[in-house]
Amino acid sequence: MSTVLYISAHPMQGEASYSTTVGNQFIQAYRAANPNDEVIYLDLFQMDIPRIDAEVLTAWGKLGTGTAFDQLSSSEQKKVSRLSELVDQFVAADKYVFVNPVWNFSYPPVLKDYIDAICVAGKTFKYVAGVGPVGQLTDKKALHIQASGSVLSPGSAYADFEMSHRHLDTIMKFLGVPSFDAIFVEGMAAAADQAQAIKEKAVQEARTLALTF
């Protein structure tokens, strides 16, 4: 049995969101094909994801110099504990499905907060002398479902403007994830009359990929 983290970074749900619609179709098909797997739904907009701020950095600094956890302030303890919960959950899972819209060529900021929470030395990567950082999640696989009004996928005229999938791809490589698929739901604003067809094509792609993910 595998554990799948379905990571949604869209404030809207259902048909109001192209990425969420395609993501829902993917996970329905995945569950049908893998009834014994556990799917954990993470709505990043509704979750407590501590931003790495001065208080978190100070707390980590204290712990790094030998201060006991119970000597941290209650606020520091709460934030550090929650960040540890998030990265431990990520490490424990086998597969990841990231779902998001593109906002101004990148993803919603809540996804960056989550990425910062899971990129932790000693847990998802480690430093090796003479080598540098080495990803530790070499037995995982991931999928990115992304919607954008413009066509931004690799090979398109505006591919160099796209900072969402490219950054997430870099993070997955950094963490050692060897398999990272993508479904791009794109061009709905550029060709409004084709929006329904674009969505239906992406849904079919999602259903097909779900059978082998």
Bridging pattern class, strands 95-101 and 3-8 = parallel
- Across 38-47, b (16+ Cβ under 10 Å) vs e yields ebeebebeee
Which residues, 6 or more positions from 110, have their beta carbon under 8 angstroms from its beta carbon? 9, 44, 45, 49
**Residues 18, 189: Cα–Cα separation, whole Å:** 12
Known binder of ligand: residue 8?
no
Q: Is 17 annotated as a binding residue?
A: yes
Query: Which amino acid, 212?
Result: T
Q: Residues annotated in the binding site, as ranges?
A: 17-19
**Binding annotation for FMN:** 17-19
